[in-house]
Chain A
């Protein structure tokens, strides 16, 4: 037994394959390209800042002070949902460890039989029956797993994501099972915020025009006022069409219990005449029992700042001889296996087997 001294505990997220970036010791997980996300932040914060600075004083005095208060609440909600969507794990499926990958390979070879040389091997597909319908599960060559139903591989993040909806550059992350709820609330609240600001922008201009005429309004207000008002109106106008449309589209998808990915690929429509096995065939039921909107955190998260599972296993195994179990200090959710091969289990577990 060699004493392998590990001086630093390696966090799970450090060993995660895939093209994600992590911050705050693994608490924040995003895609690599974040440029468009910064643009989203700038547009939302910028427009709201202008609204609060230039329109709210007038509206608060002449209409009601509740207007800026409600706008502030809505703005904070939008920001919270945006950050939640962008920073959280969308439902990344851990890649298969070498043992499992080998096991699956053996299963595939057994199923396919002997392929004559020169002939292409048949596609790796596993058929499962879901609600009396055959669904084909595809094999992911990168993650070396058969993807669960509704999972898909995101090429931008290089991960398989459970209940993959789409990769959204505006939030800088994939939208999947774990953050679809926040994404939907983000689009919904942003629609409301946009409509709200747009409405009161027009009200503001209208009120000033009534008092002193439209052209005089543009003249009397300090030089840059018209510029800012126009900027707000422009941003709101374009946001209105895109974001409200997007919210409507996702509401439609929720009523049918479909993902964007399935809709784009036409999995449950058109030529195949194959029906969606996940839908309840009843819109109300689909909305009320939506598996992602109604349930909290229904898939294994990474909880990236946990230690590698060798430690977790070793501590579970040696829980007997310690007075407290180190496992209790770790959040029970989210274990991601590292790429390190499991043969080193014994040695590393000895070295890492220290209470922390």
Chain B
């Protein structure tokens, strides 16, 4: 059954299960997620694709939380203006969060939705987990990857 866009995925597929990728605290409280491949996704997606997604997200978060010359400058400038400057300017962290949201949307469209999966931006869960929703095609009973061939192609 072909789905022409992601919306049809939601209309015709039903939520079967959710996997929660936990945080990796080994290096402290900086935002990092475990790259361990969950068993529920074994039949759905290639391990390398999943690991790539999580590693890229981890890199984005590390970039956002990086302390360096630019963040000090931004901090000092903000403090000097009693943080009013953020009424017109966006913090570096917010800029990276926008990039992350765009990346996740892109990954969903290109890689995850065609496999009947959907990644939720961790910010919606307070940065505690990456929630991956697993959808089943309502018509079919099996969950093998060939049965729910969902096309991520978009119709505009």
Please count how many residues in chain B sit with their CB below 8 Å of the partner chain's CB atoms: 55
Query: B23, B25, B83, B154: which contacts A135 (Cβ < 8 A)?
Result: B25
Contact size range, A = 35 or more
Complex CA–CA separation, A319 to B118 (angstroms): 14
Pairwise interchain contact A76-B82, C-beta atoms closer than 8 A:
yes
Taking the complex as formed, is A182 at the interface, i.e. its CB lies under 8 A from any CB of chain B? yes
Query: B156 contacts which chain A residues (CB < 8 A)?
Result: 320-321, 323
Closest A residue by C-beta to B105: A316
- Interface flags for B75-113 (1: CB within 8 Å of A; 0: not) read 100110011100000011110011011000100110001
Pairwise interchain contact A150-B11, C-beta atoms closer than 8 A:
no
Taking the complex as formed, is A227 at the interface, i.e. its CB lies under 8 A from any CB of chain B? no
Complex CA–CA separation, A325 to B102 (angstroms): 11
Taking the complex as formed, is B49 at the interface, i.e. its CB lies under 8 A from any CB of chain A? no
Known contacts A278-B29, A309-B124, A320-B109; is-contact A346 B10 (Cβ 8 Å): yes
Taking the complex as formed, is A105 at the interface, i.e. its CB lies under 8 A from any CB of chain B? no
Pairwise interchain contact B71-A296, C-beta atoms closer than 8 A:
yes
Q: Which of B125-156 contact A (CB under 8 A)?
A: 125-129, 131, 154-156
Query: A294, A319, A345: which contacts B71 (Cβ < 8 A)?
Result: A294
Taking the complex as formed, is A277 at the interface, i.e. its CB lies under 8 A from any CB of chain B? yes
Determine how close the nearest CB of chain B comes to the CB of A128; give it in whole angstroms: 5
Q: Which of A294-327 contact B (CB under 8 A)?
A: 294-300, 309, 312-314, 316-321, 323, 325, 327
Pairwise interchain contact A295-B7, C-beta atoms closer than 8 A:
no
Q: Which of A142-166 contact B (CB under 8 A)?
A: 145, 148-150, 162-163
Query: A331 contacts which chain B residues (CB < 8 A)?
Result: 94
Pairwise interchain contact A337-B125, C-beta atoms closer than 8 A:
yes
Pairwise interchain contact A294-B72, C-beta atoms closer than 8 A:
yes
Closest A residue by C-beta to B92: A296
Known contacts A294-B67, A333-B94, A333-B97; is-contact A129 B25 (Cβ 8 Å): yes
Query: B72 contacts which chain A residues (CB < 8 A)?
Result: 294
Complex CA–CA separation, A316 to B124 (angstroms): 13
Query: B52 contacts which chain A residues (CB < 8 A)?
Result: none
Taking the complex as formed, is A25 at the interface, i.e. its CB lies under 8 A from any CB of chain B? no
Query: B67 contacts which chain A residues (CB < 8 A)?
Result: 288-289, 294-295
Pairwise interchain contact A299-B154, C-beta atoms closer than 8 A:
no
Query: A81 contacts which chain B residues (CB < 8 A)?
Result: 82
Taking the complex as formed, is A270 at the interface, i.e. its CB lies under 8 A from any CB of chain B? no
Known contacts A130-B29, A278-B29; is-contact A321 B7 (Cβ 8 Å): yes
Binds B, one of A15-23, A92-100, A228-236, A240-248: A92-100
5 shortest A-B CB distances, which residue pairs? A320-B154, A335-B124, A296-B91, A80-B82, A93-B126
